Amino acid sequence: MPQRPPVFIPTTAVRALLYLLCVWIVAPFSVYAAEATADSGDRASPALMAYVQQVLDQHPRLLSAQSEVDAANARQRAAGRAIYNPELDAEYEDGEVRTRSVGINQTIDLGGKRGARERAASFEVQSAMESQTLVRQGVLAELLSALGGYDAAAERLRAADERKALMARLRTLATERRKAGDLNQIDLDLAHLAYAEAALQRAQAAGQQVTAQQALERVSGAVAPRLPSLPSNYAAVTLDESEISGILQQLPSVRVAQARIATAQAVVDLRRRERRPDPTFGLYGGKEGDDNLIGLRFSIPLPVRNSYRAEVDAADADRLALDRSTLNDYRQLRAELVAAVQRYTLSRDAWDEWQQIGAGSLERQTSVLERLWRAGELSTAEYLVQLKQTVDTRVAAIEQRGALWEAWVAWLAVSGQVDDWLSVGDGR
């Protein structure tokens, strides 16, 4: 069998190639460099806006929240109605003297219960509307997070496909070199094991994509045939103490809590007014024998056995508990806001540094590695290590890009700015 002529590569050139290879390994891949074009972190892309709006239009949780708002509005209308209806009263007595009378009674709301009920109901409407906004932003954050997870899973699957294809090529080349006598059996077995590992990793990546697709379907109903791409550039976020306080005051969850506290205070006022007895006036007329009969009636409950003070105390205790719970929630929201800014800033800085290093294509890196391996400058084990590191670096880039998206979505959610960024529908 004719022997192939030896391939001589100067040592200096080999070192230079290895140095460039190391630089390429820690660099992002050209697919990400190409995506970093005119995307802006100030607003989502039109395609993403349209996709999100389509999901929101018929989302069951939003429709349910709207029904709760409608119910609160109906309760407010009911609370604005009169508390007492007039009562028709008729009497007939057949004794020594036959008596017949017909009258009408009306209880008068002297304590202002109707106004107190209407005020409490109006705060409940406000709470329901803020809760609707909170539900909307929760759905948006869940949708964006699931969309990012699906995108990352699809990228990981593509990387796994490329890894498997590379290992398949390695196995083929190793088999050819073994037949030519240029490779020993151990190295051939190593190439087969590398392919088997790549096949297993590809199966795992496919399973992860199925899980990510399921998560996206749970929130969107179905995965669209063509999903919008995620942005590559993200706006910087810096906050001082006054900005943090301003954001917290505008959060839907804080406004919901404020509306609930106002409702609880209105309920306390209502319970106090309910302690005041309302009188009932009546007018009746009829016949008592042959004589005409006309009269007035008056009655009023006597709060002797029950003063209803306990109901006021209970409502006041509920308001106080809600007030203290809201203070605790406010502290937690502030901590989450600060932590979200810190996590996002760290992720964004890491991604910016990653992009600034440079870009090298996977094909170029693997081509250099293959030439070194075929020239005998790299053993099969070294070649596999370098090849694995190259592909793992791409997976690391995918993970970092996904982590940045998650941090961005978390920041938008905790700061209540999902609607502003997406600019879809009526986020109020």
Tens digits of residue pLDDT in 135-193 = 999 999 999 999 999 999 999 999 899 889 888 988 888 888 888 887 788 888 888 89
* Regions of the chain short of the pLDDT cut 70: 1-42, 357-366, 424-428
CA distance 364 to 19: 14
**Amino acid identity, position 216:** L
Architecture, CATH, for domain 11-84+112-275+321-422: Up-down Bundle (1.20)
As a residue count, the chain comes to 428
Cα separation of 392 and 163, whole Å? 9
323: tokens are: 């007030």
Helices (H), 358-416: 362-374, 380-414
Q: Across-strand partners of 283? A: 104, 296
Report pLDDT for 425: 57
pLDDT at 342: 92
Question: What is the reported pLDDT for 388?
Answer: 81
CA-nearest of 234, 231, 237 to 345 is 237
Rounded CA-CA distance 338/343 in Å is 9
CA dist 411 and 44 (Å) reads: 14
Q: Which residues of 104-120 are buried (b: 16+ CB within 10 A; e: fewer)?
A: ebebebebebbebbbbb
Residue 157, pLDDT score: 93
pLDDT the model gives residue 426: 56
Q: Taking a C-beta distance cutoff of 8 angstroms, is the pair 328, 254 a contact?
A: no
Structure confidence at residue 10 (pLDDT): 36
Q: Locate 138 and state its tokens.
A: 């929760």
- Domain boundaries along the sequence of the chain: 11-84+112-275+321-422
- Supply 53's token pair: 């709006």
The Cα–Cα gap between 127 and 115 comes to 18
Residue that the structure tokens 């293959």 belong to: 370
The structure's pTM equals 0.77
How far is CA 65 from each of CA 59, 127, 128, 132, 133, rounded to the nearest angstrom? 10, 11, 8, 5, 9
pLDDT at 20: 36
Helix (H) or strand (E) holding 66, with range, is: helix 60-79
Do the beta carbons of residue 152 and residue 212 sit within 8 Å?
Answer: yes
